[in-house]
Amino acid sequence: MKQLTGEAKGISKTIIGIITYKKSLFGSKKNLIYVSDSKLMPNGFMAYITSANPESKKEIIIANVKNIFELKEKDIVSIDPNGRINIIYDSQSKHNAVFITEKCNSNCIMCPQPPVKEEEDLFDLNIRFISLFDRNIKSIGITGGEPTLIGDKLFEIIKSINKRAPKATINILSNGIKFQDYIYTNRFHNAAGSNIIVDIPLYSDIDTIHNSIVRTNSFYKTIKGIYNLAEFNIRIGIRVVVHKMNYERLPQFSEYLYANFPFVFHIAFMQMEPIGYAKENLNELWIDPIDYQAQLEDSILILQNRNMSVSIYNTQLCLLSEKIRKYAVQSISDWKNIYLTECDNCSQKTVCPGLFESAKNIHSRAISAI
């Protein structure tokens, strides 16, 4: 998530509120955080963010914040006692999510956000966050870490989202291991409603390859979880991060997916994000994406010809053949999405997925303007 920093005054615990630049508002301001570059602060708001250093008696103020205008009207932010401002809901983005936990029961070799063993319980803050959602949002993610590790609290998170934004589609990113438990999956189904999609990473049709990537013995647990979710008619997505350890068998993997999971809602092939463990293990993982395009094209067309829904995430259009370019989706979160100077004169820049910011110096040699 995007972060800003400042000097915190009067804050002893993390707070969450909605950004506004409007001084005069009807109704309660108790959930609103006023933003200004002025030393003058209107009354009644829960907190104040300013680029100035006012001598103010306001209870909570974050002063000397640079780039405050990166905060947009109706963004939702959390503010920590150390003055860190986290934009946890971007009012102009389609890629918002509830971050559940940093813990995980996998240890994927290319994980962009390595798991932790100890952390603060985020449940109460997330319930507060959900209570501030725009009721008309169309989609929201639930992510981690591994969301199922918070136990029954996950059900409460889902119920809170359904209550606050009943029309929103909820995309949960899970490794699927917990869903091998049939009773748990049944309880999840009862809490979920009909607007849930569970996106599960699967990296190969060969168990040993998948297990060497996730660095746990979980291939068959994940497979069982997928079948349990399907039995309860829960929509399932399959995500495949492509790298040196699995690119060669992409066509065979597509055949495997169709043969074993013809019921899945969607399949996404994803270019790797070179950060976290992925950057640490780059020698084992990195292959220039242009060098696996033949395998990717075959795998996409195998699924497309069988009428399965398939997409390509995080991949630049100039690397894709015209046969599969239409399957590329702008999937990178806005705050970490960049384009290179090579892209400046590209006729397809406005529809290209672009690159991760972390890929600025780790990217394909073949990127060029179309």
pLDDT at 58 (0 to 100): 67
Q: Which residues contact 69 (CB under 8 A, 6 or more apart)?
A: none
Q: Which residues contact 340 (CB under 8 A, 6 or more apart)?
A: 355, 360, 363, 367
Task: Find the Cα–Cα–Cα–Cα dihedral 201, 205, 209, 211, rounded to 10°.
Answer: 50
Cβ pair 257, 264 in contact under 8 A: yes
Residue 109, token pair as written in the block: 């070799």
Higher pLDDT among residues 241 and 44, named by residue: 241
Strands lying side by side in the sheet with 266-271: 97-101, 139-144, 169-173, 196-201, 235-242, 266-271, 310-313, 328-329
* Ramachandran category for residue 176: left, alpha or beta (phi over 0 → left; psi -120 to 50 → alpha): left
The Cα-based distances of 328 to 15, 243, 315, 322 in angstroms read 38, 17, 7, 11
pLDDT at 237 (0 to 100): 98
Q: How confident is the model at residue 38 (pLDDT cuts 50, 70, 90)?
A: confident
pLDDT tens track for 253-273: 999 999 999 999 999 999 999
Residue with tokens 């952390």, as numbered in its chain: 119
pLDDT tens track for 223-233: 999 999 999 99
The CATH fold assigned to 3-88 is: Glucose Oxidase; domain 1 (3.50.30)
For the chain, the structural domain boundaries read 3-88, 97-359
Same fold, 3-88 and 97-359: no
Beta strand pairing call for 169-173 and 196-201: parallel
pLDDT tens track for 272-331: 999 999 999 999 999 999 999 999 999 999 999 999 999 999 999 999 999 999 999 999
pLDDT tens track for 133-186: 999 999 999 999 999 999 999 999 999 999 999 999 999 999 999 999 999 999
The CATH fold assigned to 97-359 is: TIM Barrel (3.20.20)
pLDDT at 43 (0 to 100): 86
